[in-house]
């Protein structure tokens, strides 16, 4: 569990592991051990057929070739490259700002990426008075969870 929290969430202070031979650093001991066992000081046994750069692992060569060749699908807006067209389409739809359709509320200034977020805004929020009021100050909120976050961050001394 500690390794998961450390590796995925960065909650625990990160310790760096350094290779004593080449001084490369790694975020965990497993990666350092893999480097020492399979990479460090080993002659490259996989060579790129285009630039003749050497690699100690076949996977590293495949990544290099993919990034170096014209194969793949490119985003015309930001230049990112994807192996599969479906990943490019997802990027264009949800991440890349150039082709991103916005859904605007006709009653106020709000704008949303997804139509269902706009519909939720219209149904529960737009033009409706906030239902949740802070007992410690005059602020009001449309959602209870937002009120709770506000209270914990602004009035923690009252707990």
Query: What is the pTM assigned to this prediction?
Result: 0.35
Q: What is the pLDDT of residue 74?
A: 74
Three-class secondary structure of residue 54 per DSSP: strand
Lowest mean pLDDT among 29-33, 64-68, 81-85: 64-68
Domain that holds residue 30: 2-38
Can you read off the two tokens belonging to residue 36? 């020492």
Is the residue at 133 inside a domain? no
Tell me, yes or no, whether 154 lies in a domain: no
Q: What is the dihedral of CA 83, 87, 88, 89, to 10 degrees?
A: 150
Q: Is residue 156 part of a domain?
A: no
Task: Give the number of domains in the chain.
Answer: 1
């Amino acid at each position: 569990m500690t390794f998961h929290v450390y590796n995925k969430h960065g909650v625990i202070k990160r310790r760096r592991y350094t290779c004593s031979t080449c001084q490369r650093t790694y975020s965990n001991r497993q990666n350092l051990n893999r480097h020492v066992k399979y990479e460090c000081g080993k002659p490259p046994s996989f060579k790129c057929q285009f630039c003749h750069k050497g690699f100690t692992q076949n996977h590293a060569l495949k990544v290099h070739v993919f990034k170096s060749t014209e194969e793949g699908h490119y985003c015309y807006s930001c230049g990112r490259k994807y192996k599969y067209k479906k990943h490019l389409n997802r990027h264009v739809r949800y991440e890349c700002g150039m082709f991103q359709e916005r859904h605007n509320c006709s009653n106020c200034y709000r704008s949303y990426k997804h139509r269902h977020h706009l519909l939720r805004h219209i149904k529960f929020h737009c033009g409706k008075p906030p239902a949740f009021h802070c007992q410690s100050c005059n602020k009001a909120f449309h959602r209870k969870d937002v009120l709770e976050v506000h209270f914990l961050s602004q009035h923690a001394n009252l707990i």
